[in-house]
Amino acid sequence: MTQQVARRVAPGAGKVLSGVEEAAESTKLWCGAAVAMACFGGWRGRTAAAAGLAAMTVAQLASNGVCKQLADRPRPPKEWFPHDEADDRPDSSSFPSGHTAAAVAFTAAVLPTWPAAGVTCAVPAAMVAVERVQSGAHYPSDVVAGAAVGLACAWLTRRAPRLALRHWT
């Protein structure tokens, strides 16, 4: 399936996906979105930005700091990909996709507070997920697991304050 995804993406679309992934590298895209929301979205934008950044941070810690250390799964073989993008990938574990976890966590945390911004963020988040397979950095199951980590972290960070208050009061 990994090879099929890499081969089915048209070269032009692959360049667009790579551009979006480059923007998302080191969470730049999500931090930029949070700044824009905070500056132009009023109270709702600031609340959505804070929720998105918190969820993204937790997702990065969970996926890259915990899950990758436990899984230690090798990346897909470079020979599977008809392009040279597979040469430029990290040496860390393939499982789960940290890029996808961050993208999904940010988007899922923003969505309840500002649905329009969340839907807008869902487009590049989905593109990042597809690009991670297309580029040879991940297997599809790595991306699915990253999305699950992201969703769980968004849920946790949105519920944590209420859970803490309930526990301590």
pLDDT tens, position by position, 82-133: 656 655 667 788 899 999 999 999 999 999 999 999 999 999 999 999 988 8
Entry pTM: 0.85
d(C-alpha 29, C-alpha 31), whole Å: 6
Mean pLDDT of 16-37: 83
Residue from 59, 51, 21, 20 nearest 34 by CA: 51
Q: Which residue has the higher pLDDT, 161 or 6?
A: 161
What are 120-149's pLDDT values in tens digits? 999 999 999 998 888 888 999 999 999 999
Q: Is the pLDDT of residue 21 over 90?
A: no
What is the model's pLDDT at position 132? 87
Phi-psi region of 32 (alpha: psi -120 to 50; beta: other; left: phi over 0): alpha
Residue 70 amino acid letter: L
